[in-house]
Structure 1
Amino acid sequence: MAGATTADRGERDEAEASESGPPPALRRRRKPTVRTLVVAGVLLVLIGAGAIWLLYGSQWLRVERVTTSGTGVLSPREVREAAAVPVGAPMVSVDADAMEDRIRRKLPRIDSVDVVRSWPHGIGLKVTERKPVLIVEDARNTGKFVEVDHEGVRFATVDAAPKGVPRLELTPDRAGAAASLRRFGEDRLVRETVRVAGRLPKAVARDTRTVKVRSYDDISLELTGGRVVVWGSAEKGDAKARVLTTLMKAAPKARHFDVSVPTAPASSGS
């Protein structure tokens, strides 16, 4: 008699499988019991409560020290006092944004500040101070000067002019200049002058003592050795800087340079 066919063997295997129940993989996918769910839920609650206690209730993760970096003119103590870090408070409760706002509001010299948590007990205050690119005589306080940064922000009043920082003089001594001052406003003219200062060649910037602003398009520089540079407006600053460098090399003994129209520069005097 012929042996069982492949079809017959397949039918027998299916019958045996059905008698022995579902495969092991299917048996392992049974739904968890109510007891298992309750136990898991309790564990999650305990873990959550423990985490909250660790962050807020324990003494392990609390502010114990405050460090400051990046100060130059200001002292670390001034920054810490302005920040008012709540020493002893839970680390997680420290409001970094509010702290940064307080520092910038109380210390205008600060350009940027970053509050960093240094777990488990430290708060770091990383600050960047504004640097003066120009100074202006304080009209309300004789003998004092106001520092102006690269954005035209007047951020501090000092008793003595910082060394190497040019003095800004607004001198609208003509009717047209006065009209320019009224039209653009003093703050706008200061920002334009800052743009000029930011475009000066390094050698020229080192020698610049005074930047005079008579109007929006009449800005000039007074350098060491009695030299004068007529710059004009703040427009085309890069081109003017390149032309001025070339002009000074070509006429090293000149005392008057005019780059207000960079395509037609001029120098004179000796």
Structure 2
Amino acid sequence: MKRPQGFDQPAAPEPARPAAVRTRGPRRTTKPGSSTAGRATDARPAPGRTPGSPAASDQTSTEPIVLPAPGARRVAPVWPLRRPTETVDSPAIQGITRPDAAPGLPATPAATPPADAPLTPAGARRKFRAARRARKLYEREEVRRFTWRSRRRRTIWLVSLGIIAALGGFVLIGAYSPLMALKTIEVVGADRVPSAEVQAALGEQLGTPLPLVDFSKVKKELSRFTLIRSYVTESRPPGTLVVRIVEREPIGAVVTPAGFDLVDAAGVVIQSGTERPAGYATITARSGAGSTGFQAAAAVIMALPDGIRGQLDTVTAATKDDVTLTLVGGARVVWGSAEKSEYKAVVLAALVVSHPVGSVGEYDVSSPDSAVLR
């Protein structure tokens, strides 16, 4: 069988190589004198043909790739060190001016290096410092944002402690400063009790700072005055002490071997004398001023209106349920017990208006709903 023209003897097939290192070699052209001049061949076999077949050209070959030996170190190409372009939105790196600008000339913002310029050590340090400042500023703002509650509580505590300290200092200054010393004692409400005697009794407290006035001594001195039923003290800075006195109110006179004692509702003797005090009724109790009969009589006198109390002559109380009044003019009032004294007083006042004293000998209001005239 005759071979086709233009093909030489096929080359011996090469041993098989691993798929990872087999590659396509560069295209080659045949020599000018060959029958296949000007025709490029490929190392890959034509479709439907296998390597080593008569149709494969013996002028095509592949160049082997030299693999590095196991354990050999691969050297990467050295390229200029560049830094990716980044934008730092921080006020700390804005408005950077040239340090060599002449004084008196407007500041010129620093030139921004091109994005593809290599990063120098000085530029890297500047960017690092700017980024660090921006980071610190961001962290500070975050800390302030997350700690505002604690800072508010701390402020409230500090303000409260400051106010307490200021008040404490003011109290200490007021307690030990001579500016707050007691200089004047003012007595208010004294009628029967002489004001001068009260001021003289409290004279030991003069010169003492108002916060340090000994009120136990004030009470002891005022308790000597039997006419004082109660009192209230009031401090008026810088140096005045006001004593408001409530005197005992006499309700009648009690007959004694020495004469008459003017007493109040508690039986305390306000004054004594040989003559009966004018304007006050005589109280007669079986067991004296401390008995239950005297207490009932005192309660009845306190419940009477001023118009009837001025017409009262004597009050007799054998027991607490047997109180009898005698009016000026001889009229007798049967009162009974001290219960419902306010109601009985209203009924008696109405009876006296409708039936004046002198026209009636006796007013019986022991049962105020059914009063009896005799």
TM-score (norm 1): 0.71
Distance of 1:194 and 1:49 partners within structure 2: 51
The within-5 A match list for 1:76-87 is 76-87=195-206
Structure 1 SS opposite 2:191 = coil
> Does structure 1 residue 106 correspond to structure 2 residue 224?
yes
Distance of 1:20 and 1:158 partners within structure 2: 92
> Does structure 1 residue 196 correspond to structure 2 residue 311?
no
Distance of 1:186 and 1:201 partners within structure 2: 24
The within-5 A match list for 1:42-81 is 54-81=173-200
Structure 2 SS opposite 1:225 = coil
Number of residue pairs aligned between Structure 1 and Structure 2:
228
> Does structure 1 residue 127 correspond to structure 2 residue 127?
no
Q: Is the 8 A contact 2:205 2:214 kept in 1?
A: no
| Shift, 1:207, TM fit | 0.3
Instruction: Judging by fraction of residues, say which structure has more strand.
Output: 1
Distance of 1:216 and 1:47 partners within structure 2: 61
Distance of 2:218 and 2:142 partners within structure 1: 57
Instruction: Judging by fraction of residues, say which structure has more helix.
Output: 1
Paired position in structure 1 for 2:214: 95
Which amino acid is the alignment partner of residue 224 of structure 2? K
Which moved further from structure 2: 51-60 or 122-131?
51-60
Q: Deviations over 1:194-238 (max 9, x none)?
A: 111122233221100211112222211111111111111112213
Q: Is the 8 A contact 1:104 1:111 kept in 2?
A: no
Structure 1 SS opposite 2:367 = coil
Structure 2 SS opposite 1:203 = helix
Paired position in structure 1 for 2:152: none
Distance of 1:148 and 1:47 partners within structure 2: 50
| Shift, 1:190, TM fit | 1.5
Q: Is the 8 A contact 1:70 1:127 kept in 2?
A: yes
Structure 1 SS opposite 2:259 = coil
Q: Deviations over 1:4-40 (max 9, x none)?
A: xxxxxxxx99x996453424584698xxxxxxxxxxx
Structure number with bigger Rg: 2
Residues 1:207 and 1:72: Cα distance change in structure 2 (over 3 Å): same
User: Quick one: which of 266, 269, 279 aligns to 1:164?
Assistant: 279
Q: Is the 8 A contact 2:228 2:248 kept in 1?
A: yes
Which amino acid is the alignment partner of residue 339 of structure 2? E
| Shift, 1:120, TM fit | 0.9
The within-5 A match list for 1:1-270 is 18=135, 20-24=137-141, 26=143, 54-96=173-215, 98-139=216-257, 142-149=258-265, 152-159=266-273, 160-170=275-285, 172=286, 186-252=290-356, 253-268=359-374
Structure 1 SS opposite 2:342 = helix
| Shift, 1:245, TM fit | 2.5
Report which structure shows greater RCO (CA 8 Å, sep ≥6): 1
Distance of 1:56 and 1:250 partners within structure 2: 65
| Shift, 1:82, TM fit | 3.4
Which amino acid is the alignment partner of residue 147 of structure 1? V
Structure 2 SS opposite 1:128 = strand
Residues 1:27 and 1:238: Cα distance change in structure 2 (over 3 Å): closer
Which amino acid is the alignment partner of residue 212 of structure 1? T
- Alpha-carbon RMSD: 3.6
Distance of 2:272 and 2:239 partners within structure 1: 37
Give unmatched runs, 5+ long, in structure 2.
1-88, 91-130, 148-161
Distance of 2:208 and 2:168 partners within structure 1: 19
Paired position in structure 2 for 1:7: none
Which amino acid is the alignment partner of residue 238 of structure 2? P
Distance of 2:346 and 2:175 partners within structure 1: 61
| Shift, 1:153, TM fit | 3.9
Structure 2 SS opposite 1:144 = strand
Q: Is the 8 A contact 1:85 1:99 kept in 2?
A: no
Residues 1:215 and 1:85: Cα distance change in structure 2 (over 3 Å): same
Distance of 1:72 and 1:51 partners within structure 2: 38
| Fraction of identical pairs, as percent | 23
Q: Is the 8 A contact 1:82 1:102 kept in 2?
A: no
Structure 2 SS opposite 1:89 = coil
Q: Is the 8 A contact 1:258 1:267 kept in 2?
A: yes
Structure 2 SS opposite 1:123 = strand
Structure 2 SS opposite 1:22 = helix
Structure 1 SS opposite 2:241 = strand
